[in-house]
């Protein structure tokens, strides 16, 4: 540890009385009670690293240094990642580590501490771990472990800062099928094929509807059950032809219209044979 870092440790104001060192203090520290989720995470990570340096690596100066950083973070203070110029790093590692630190600082200052406190806390501590191990530059596995963890948690922090993709717009509801006009029903007097005044109004409505669609038009004539069935077959067809002619006169193309007669076969009102029924003397007009 160089003299600058020793001075920095003293400046943190975290040295206890001479009988108690920082490593002992963090060893007894259960968890940070002050600060933000980020500083609490950072304190926990620095504590683990300080104890590792003390108990496994027997590097007591660096253990004290990172214990002081743990105590500072535990108090809620903002603790910055290590400055590379304060460490005796090998020349071949400086460029990559400089770029890595810039990425870390950008992520931290772009709300990384707030939006991804756990990931950002680990990323900073692992960066400092990388720096400390890289200065010693002989424990390759430890260097790579800190470096790999740093990049993984930095990437997680950066991912948390990316804008969430906007939800895909809801699929447009399928357009409703065009409404089919009708059906229309025109009634006739007994044994008649002439259009009544009401039926003529209905014809006008059918002509208007025909101008709004290209659907073919089916015209079906009907009779009641009074009279001879053969006669009624012919009468129902004449009624259908009358309506078709009225539609053509109104401007509907004749080729769109099919006229047929159903005679007595499909009465609207069921009656006894031979009975007159006005509701059965009709022509049905359908768009289909």
* Residue 76 covered by a domain: yes
Give 223's pLDDT tier (boundaries 50, 70, 90).
very high
Verify that 151 and 211 share a domain, yes or no. Answer: no
Q: What is the mean pLDDT of the chain?
A: 91
Verify that 212 and 272 share a domain, yes or no. Answer: yes
Residue where a domain stops, chosen among 161, 194, 219: 161
Verify that 144 and 210 share a domain, yes or no. Answer: no
Does residue 15 have a pLDDT over 90?
no
Verify that 119 and 189 share a domain, yes or no. Answer: no
| Residue 8: closest CA among 76, 61, 75 | 61
Verify that 36 and 147 share a domain, yes or no. Answer: yes
Verify that 66 and 208 share a domain, yes or no. Answer: no
Verify that 154 and 242 share a domain, yes or no. Answer: no
Residue 20: the pLDDT is 59
Q: Kindly report the CATH number assigned to the domain that includes residue 270.
A: 3.30.1330.60
Does residue 4 have a pLDDT over 70?
no
Verify that 80 and 216 share a domain, yes or no. Answer: no
**Residue 185: strand pairing partners:** 284
Does residue 282 have a pLDDT over 70?
yes
Lowest mean pLDDT among 2-16, 157-171, 234-248: 2-16
Q: What's the rounded mean pLDDT across residues 202-210? A: 95
Quote the CA–CA distance of 90 and 134 in Å, as a whole number: 8
* Residue 151 covered by a domain: yes
**Are 43 and 70 a contacting pair, CB within 8 Å?**
yes
Residue 31: the pLDDT is 76
Does residue 165 have a pLDDT over 90?
no
* Residue 131 covered by a domain: yes
* Residue 175 covered by a domain: no
* Full domain range(s) for residue 91: 3-161
Does residue 13 have a pLDDT over 60?
no
* Residue 261 covered by a domain: yes
Q: What's the rounded mean pLDDT across residues 205-228? A: 95
Residue 5: the pLDDT is 55
Give 242's pLDDT tier (boundaries 50, 70, 90).
very high
At residue 87, φ and ψ (nearest 5 deg) are: -125, 150
Give 14's pLDDT tier (boundaries 50, 70, 90).
very low
User: pLDDT for 27-76, tens place per residue?
Assistant: 988 877 788 999 999 999 999 999 999 999 999 999 999 999 999 999 99
The percentage of residues in the chain with a pLDDT greater than 90, rounded to a whole number, is 83
Number of domains observed in the structure of the chain: 2
* Residue 33 covered by a domain: yes
Identify whether 183 is preceded by a cis peptide bond (ω within 30 of 0). Answer: yes
Verify that 147 and 189 share a domain, yes or no. Answer: no
Lowest mean pLDDT among 35-39, 91-95, 167-171, 230-234: 167-171
At residue 219, φ and ψ (nearest 5 deg) are: -115, 120
* Residue 172 covered by a domain: no
Verify that 143 and 257 share a domain, yes or no. Answer: no
Verify that 10 and 137 share a domain, yes or no. Answer: yes
* Residue 176 covered by a domain: no
Verify that 54 and 105 share a domain, yes or no. Answer: yes
Query: What is the model's pTM?
Result: 0.56
Please write down the HEC assignment for all residues of the chain.
Answer: CCHHHHHHHHHCCCCCCCCCCHHHHHHCCCCCCCCCHHHHHHHHHHHHHHHHHHHCCCCHHHHHHHHHHHHHHHCCCCCCCCCHHHCCCCHHHHHHHHHHHHHHHHHHHHHHHHHCHHHHHHHHHHHHHHHHHHHHCCCHHHHHHHHHHHHHHHHHHHHHHCCCCCCCCCCCCCCCCCCCCCCEEEECCCCCCCCCHHHHHHHHHHHHHHCCCCCCEEEEECCCCCCCHHHHHHHHHHHHHHHHHHHHHCCCCHHHEEEEECCCCCCCCCCCCCCCCHHHCEEEEEEC
């Amino acid at each position: 540890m160089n003299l600058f870092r020793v001075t920095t440790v003293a400046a943190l104001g975290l040295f206890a009385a001479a009988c108690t060192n920082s490593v002992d203090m963090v060893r007894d520290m259960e968890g940070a009670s002050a600060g933000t989720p980020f500083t609490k995470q950072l304190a926990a990570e620095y504590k683990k690293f300080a104890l590792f340096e003390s108990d496994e690596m027997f590097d007591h100066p660096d253990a004290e240094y990172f214990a002081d950083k743990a105590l500072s973070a535990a108090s809620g203070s903002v603790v910055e990642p290590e400055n590379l110029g304060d460490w005796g790093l090998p020349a071949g590692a400086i460029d990559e580590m400089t770029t890595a630190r810039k990425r870390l600082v950008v992520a931290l200052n772009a709300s990384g501490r707030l939006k991804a406190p756990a990931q950002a806390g680990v990323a900073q501590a692992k960066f400092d771990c990388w720096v400390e191990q890289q200065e010693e530059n002989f424990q390759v596995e430890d260097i790579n472990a800190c470096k790999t963890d740093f990049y993984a948690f930095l990437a997680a922090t950066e991912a948390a800062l990316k804008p969430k993709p906007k939800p895909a717009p809801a699929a447009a509801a399928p357009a409703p099928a065009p409404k089919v006009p009708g059906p229309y029903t025109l009634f006739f007097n007994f044994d008649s094929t002439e259009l009544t005044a009401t039926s003529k109004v209905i014809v006008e409505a059918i002509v208007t509807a025909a101008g709004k669609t290209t659907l073919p038009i089916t015209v079906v004539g009907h009779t009641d059950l009074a009279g001879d069935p053969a006669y009624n077959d012919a009468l129902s067809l004449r009624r259908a032809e009358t309506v078709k002619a009225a539609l053509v006169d109104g401007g509907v193309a004749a080729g769109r219209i099919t006229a047929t007669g159903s005679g007595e076969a499909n009465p609207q009102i069921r009656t006894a044979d031979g009975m007159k029924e006005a509701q059965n003397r009709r022509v049905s007009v359908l768009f289909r």
